[in-house]
Structure 1
Amino acid sequence: MTIQLTQTQIEAFDQIAQQRVLNDMCAHIKTFFPSHYADLAPDNHLRFCKDVVKKAASFGYETERNIFMFLNIMIMLGEDFDTKPEFQWARDILTDPIPEPEYNIEALADAALKWTQQRAKG
């Protein structure tokens, strides 16, 4: 027996999955970046996560893993890191056409972590 789903049912499942990812992102921020979570107004948590998903997608990152990595990077470097001149190195990694997006996001995560550690040292 084959089960066929209507387009409406498929869209409903997709919305449920998207909401789960957004909720997981909010929980991730609360757990791993509690000061950032506290800085956001409660009604802005989901908005912030939706903005992260949208921005990640603009660079070709659509898997849950890559979106979470992008989330971490945005929190470490700032929401507009991709447009700030001081983070040109990050934009160069994001837009490098040669490696696969999977490689770029990992390289950017490593570079962002190193930048954050160097900044913490003073």
Structure 2
Amino acid sequence: MLTIRRRQSAMFAQIAVDRFVGELSAHFREHLPRQFGALGEEGVREAIRYGIGRARSYRIESEAGVRVFVQLMFVFGPAFDSDPKLPWASRCLSGAGDERARVGRLLDVAARSRRQRA
């Protein structure tokens, strides 16, 4: 029988987070070059890790949900979720429903807000 100890489990979790951070960093390098250039590789990775923690504070744990949260951080600013100029963000994140429903609402409202700004 195989036994996985807590330390080993934590190591596997860290490997998964590192992989996710690397993939998201590469995505930002390609799709948000201005923000990527301003922060640099290490700054982007640090911002992504910060975003992972912020997303978790709203019970957003799936890769897809965290990806949306972090992308919105890069588009609307690192404190978009508590920015008084963006009240829709905290309402969506703190609203009723499971993670998928809240993230879906967040994405819809963010897209509308972005179109209105343009």
TM over 0.5: yes
Aligned residue runs from structure 1 range 16-35, under 5 A: 16-35=15-34
CA RMSD after TM alignment: 1.3
Larger Rg: 1
Aligned residue runs from structure 1 range 65-80, under 5 A: 65-80=64-79
**8 Å contact kept, 1:26–1:46:** yes
Counterparts of 2:84 and 2:7 in 1: how far apart (Å)? 44
* Number of aligned residues: 118
SS of alignment partner, residue 60 of structure 1: coil
TM-score scaled to structure 2, two decimals? Answer: 0.91
Kindly indicate whether structure 1 or structure 2 has the higher relative contact order, using CA contacts under 8 Å at least 6 residues apart.
1
Aligned residue runs from structure 1 range 1-122, under 5 A: 2-96=1-95, 98-120=96-118
Q: Report runs of 4+ in structure 1 exceeding 6 Å deviation.
A: none
Report % sequence identity: 25
Deviation at 1:5, TM superposition (A): 2.0
Counterparts of 2:38 and 2:111 in 1: how far apart (Å)? 21
Counterpart of 1:105, as a letter, is V
Counterpart of 1:86, as a letter, is K
Counterparts of 1:21 and 1:67 in 2: how far apart (Å)? 10
- Bigger CA drift: 24-33 or 49-58? 24-33
**8 Å contact kept, 2:25–2:44:** yes
| C-alpha distance after superposition, 1:22-78 (max 9, x if no partner) | 111111211221211111133212111111101101111011110001112112211
Counterpart of 1:115, as a letter, is S
- Bigger CA drift: 5-14 or 102-111? 5-14
TM-score scaled to structure 1, two decimals? Answer: 0.88
Counterparts of 1:82 and 1:6 in 2: how far apart (Å)? 36
Counterparts of 1:6 and 1:52 in 2: how far apart (Å)? 28
Unaligned runs of at least 5 residues, structure 2 = none
Counterparts of 1:99 and 1:14 in 2: how far apart (Å)? 26
